[in-house]
Structure 1
Amino acid sequence: MAEQVRIATFHTELSRDGPGLLLRDTLSKDDPQVEAVIQIIRASNADVLVLADIDYDLNSTALAALAKRIGGYPHHFALLPNRGVPSGVDLDGNGRIGGPGDAQGYAAYKGQGGLAVLSRWPIRHTLARDFSAMRWTDLPGHIAPEGTPDVQRLSTTGHWDLPVEVTGGHLIHLLVWHATPPVFDGPEDRNGRRNHDEAAIWLRYLEDGLGLSPPSTFVIAGFANLDPVDGNGRPEALQTLLRHPLIYDPKPTSEGASQATIEDGGINARHVGDPSLDTVDWGDANNRPGNLRVDYVLPSRTLDVLDSGVFWPPVDHLFGRDVQVASRHRLVWVDVTLPDSARDGGQRIGHAEARQ
């Protein structure tokens, strides 16, 4: 029987107000949020886990400390995010250069709110592709506002193609990203347009490779910051991803999401999407967006999907309290396996390296 691989994404909200604070809180063993995040990750039992909103440091010291506390994840990957990286221009239009609004991605310091991957399977670092430095206006078909500076990068946080070697030397490519919120801007809709294009880059990559050879076996995993039918934003690119012929949307659900919609009320009562698909418990009043589906794990159709879910138990469940303390977001997981055809003749390490 083929090896089953559970791939998950979790927007942890572990980002801290200053460098080094996440490491401090992780090592202290008495920070309620960190402890709750650890419990959820252990309970979810993912083989490969994408972490969003986790602070980056040069030697990945905080990530390594967190992985050690969790246990069972010998392989790690992280890169400096665009968040906090100075652009050198006045992106936010306040008449001054410098500060969070003029960074390539909004942040108080370099490395704040980054991305990371933990894995039980080897990560092929040398085969990774990092699209994070791509200029927004270099994306084919972009919808950047007129006058967008040439230095403005597309990625708010990062876009990676990260190959993970599973059983038999086969590669599953993780396509990882964390997009900007499609709000907090002006009539030019800069953030809404950027959020759209941060999903559209995967369409361009999978359809024409952006000048490279795109992977055939992949899982798109991360934080779109957008619901396909509810809330603010431009959902066209995300909707295209969800129904793309190369991609399977397993539509993971949870009992807790359905329960929260009923109990929270407010704007949730006006949503048209299936509430069991929600992955975040945002505020429900005073123009807040309510509960939405914004976190995604989307396998390629070259993988067999066995099961999926959102780790959002009811409030009276064993982990009902932990999910509320850990993050407003819920961990999303999908179980996949390589079909027989891929195991018999699919992409292996040697073939992948030859194509780079």
Structure 2
Amino acid sequence: MALTLAAGALTRSARDAIATPPSKDLDVRFATFNASLNRNAAGDLVRDLSTGSNAQARTVAEIIQRVNPDVLLINEFDYVEGGRAAELFRDNYLRVGQNGAASVEYPYFFTAPVNTGVPSGFDLNNGVIGGGDDAFGFGLFPGQYGMVVYSKHPIDEGAIRTFQHFLWKDMPGALLPVDPATGQGWYSPEELDVFRLSSKSHWDVPITLGRRTIHVLAAHPTPPTFDGAVDRNGTRNHDEIRLWADYVTGGKAAAYLYDDAGMRGGLKQGERFVILGDYNADPLDGDSVDGAINQLLDHPRIDNSFLPSSEGAVEAAALQGRDNLTHRGNPAYDTADFSEPPGNLRVDYVLPSRGMPTVDGGVFWPTREDPLSRLTGTYPFPSSDHRLVWKDVRFPH
């Protein structure tokens, strides 16, 4: 079951101030961060977040505090029933100033079950039934690599849509994988009858800004690797991205979609949205299916004109060399510090709908001479191999 929580300690006047911004153009900072707050066993994340002294969690919290987004998606944050882990991270880390950074307050958050680690009962990798590869999304236990959305603005809980159970075969023209050795479909008809498209989940989380609503579209498609010549993860990654492309197109293009409550279709024309997440796809480099992320970057309803960048990414690519030297993409736009192959890539995105200009943005990747570089560092990373990406989006009155 989906979950949103509000901080009871807020006074009514404080809640009203958050809920009703001034009747004028409003700038809202959106961010996405694959924070690597996943653990190897169920219960470990709750244990680590219970004291306020976990070094990685403190570092992740400080990065968030330095950027201070209004709305934040965290990928790779283990789901715990009841939202306990999300609540602990908010209360014990984000609400506590880290190393001189000001605390940040998120009265609202949303988290829900994901497909990672949920057993399918089938042999999805054609080996032996059981383990992470045979779950609906790769994971060692249900909820590993989950997600959470934090917000300073109210979440319209009754209007949330999730697509955890949408079946891959129900997408018209789906890139269902084919075994190149046999020419037959990799998955049996029985497997396709239960195979879910989303490796984690796809969420439409409406945020209320006074009389205005913005749809936060959150996801974390599977990495297009670890699968050999059949490319079953690459094709799945492509179609997980396509789900949002069809969803924001709406109309006939989205008529096939059904959410976990049985509601069909996508967004209506004119509805505003911001797509957030680690999409595991670079527009020019890496192993994703050609054009996978371009389904969003080139979409007529999406504004990709502002490209968040950092000097730290340029420095890292030059210092690390190797695969980075052969990349076609500008390293300034990289958002993840990966080992070779594939090297550093642009895989984390904040993509607003057209009509809402981006007035600022960036990638939190300091250069080595910057004191804050201690927060990103080099392998083994003190926080994550991904970098927080943010944009200030202007909502016209």
Find the counterpart in structure 2 of residue 76 from structure 1: 109
Residue of structure 2 aligned with 1:298, choices 336, 346, 351: 351
Distance 2:32 2:197 in 1: 21
The answer as to 2:170 corresponding to 1:127 is no
The answer as to 2:162 corresponding to 1:162 is no
Distance 1:174 1:88 in 2: 32
Matches within 5 A, 1:302-313: 302-313=355-366
Please report how far the alpha carbon of residue 114 of structure 1 lies from its aligned counterpart in structure 2 after TM superposition. Answer: 0.2
Residue of structure 2 aligned with 1:240, choices 295, 313, 317: 295
Task: Specify the SS of the correspondent of 2:33.
Answer: strand
Task: Specify the SS of the correspondent of 2:120.
Answer: coil
Distance 2:365 2:214 in 1: 26
Residue of structure 2 aligned with 1:279, choices 331, 335, 338: 335
Find the counterpart in structure 2 of residue 212 from structure 1: 265
Matches within 5 A, 1:1-356: 1-68=24-91, 69-71=93-95, 72-94=105-127, 96-145=128-177, 146-148=185-187, 149-150=191-192, 151-166=194-209, 168-207=210-249, 208-210=253-255, 211-215=264-268, 216-249=271-304, 250-284=306-340, 288-324=341-377, 325-339=382-396, 343=397
Tell whether the 8 Å contact from 1:256 to 1:314 is kept in structure 2 after alignment.
yes
Please report how far the alpha carbon of residue 198 of structure 1 lies from its aligned counterpart in structure 2 after TM superposition. Answer: 0.8
- TM-score, normalization by structure 2: 0.82
Please report how far the alpha carbon of residue 312 of structure 1 lies from its aligned counterpart in structure 2 after TM superposition. Answer: 0.7
- TM-score, normalization by structure 1: 0.91
Please report how far the alpha carbon of residue 237 of structure 1 lies from its aligned counterpart in structure 2 after TM superposition. Answer: 3.1
Task: Specify the SS of the correspondent of 1:292.
Answer: coil
Relative to its length, the structure with more helix (as a share) is 1
Please report how far the alpha carbon of residue 209 of structure 1 lies from its aligned counterpart in structure 2 after TM superposition. Answer: 3.0
Query: How well do the aligned residues superpose, as a CA RMSD in angstroms?
Result: 1.3
Task: Specify the SS of the correspondent of 1:50.
Answer: strand
Moved more, 137-146 or 39-48: 137-146
Distance 1:107 1:147 in 2: 20
Please report how far the alpha carbon of residue 240 of structure 1 lies from its aligned counterpart in structure 2 after TM superposition. Answer: 2.7
Post-superposition CA distance 1:54-74 (Å, at most 9, x none):
011111111101111202011
Please report how far the alpha carbon of residue 27 of structure 1 lies from its aligned counterpart in structure 2 after TM superposition. Answer: 2.5
Please report how far the alpha carbon of residue 154 of structure 1 lies from its aligned counterpart in structure 2 after TM superposition. Answer: 0.5
Distance 1:87 1:111 in 2: 14
Please report how far the alpha carbon of residue 235 of structure 1 lies from its aligned counterpart in structure 2 after TM superposition. Answer: 3.4
Distance 1:291 1:188 in 2: 24
Please report how far the alpha carbon of residue 336 of structure 1 lies from its aligned counterpart in structure 2 after TM superposition. Answer: 0.7
Find the counterpart in structure 2 of residue 352 from structure 1: none
Please report how far the alpha carbon of residue 330 of structure 1 lies from its aligned counterpart in structure 2 after TM superposition. Answer: 0.2
Distance 1:141 1:306 in 2: 37
Distance 2:244 2:130 in 1: 30
Distance 2:266 2:79 in 1: 29
Post-superposition CA distance 1:315-335 (Å, at most 9, x none):
221310112311010000011
Identity level (%): 42
Task: Specify the SS of the correspondent of 1:283.
Answer: coil
Task: Specify the SS of the correspondent of 1:6.
Answer: strand
Find the counterpart in structure 1 of residue 9 from structure 2: none
Tell whether the 8 Å contact from 1:227 to 1:235 is kept in structure 2 after alignment.
no
Please report how far the alpha carbon of residue 213 of structure 1 lies from its aligned counterpart in structure 2 after TM superposition. Answer: 4.5
Please report how far the alpha carbon of residue 147 of structure 1 lies from its aligned counterpart in structure 2 after TM superposition. Answer: 4.6
Post-superposition CA distance 1:32-70 (Å, at most 9, x none):
211100100111110000000001111111110111120
Please report how far the alpha carbon of residue 296 of structure 1 lies from its aligned counterpart in structure 2 after TM superposition. Answer: 0.5
Moved more, 218-227 or 202-211: 202-211
Task: Specify the SS of the correspondent of 1:221.
Answer: strand
Please report how far the alpha carbon of residue 31 of structure 1 lies from its aligned counterpart in structure 2 after TM superposition. Answer: 2.2
Distance 1:294 1:213 in 2: 24
Please report how far the alpha carbon of residue 196 of structure 1 lies from its aligned counterpart in structure 2 after TM superposition. Answer: 0.6
| Letter matched to residue 386 of structure 2 | H
Distance 2:66 2:343 in 1: 26
Find the counterpart in structure 2 of residue 351 from structure 1: none
| Letter matched to residue 130 of structure 1 | T
Moved more, 247-256 or 45-54: 247-256
Distance 1:58 1:194 in 2: 27
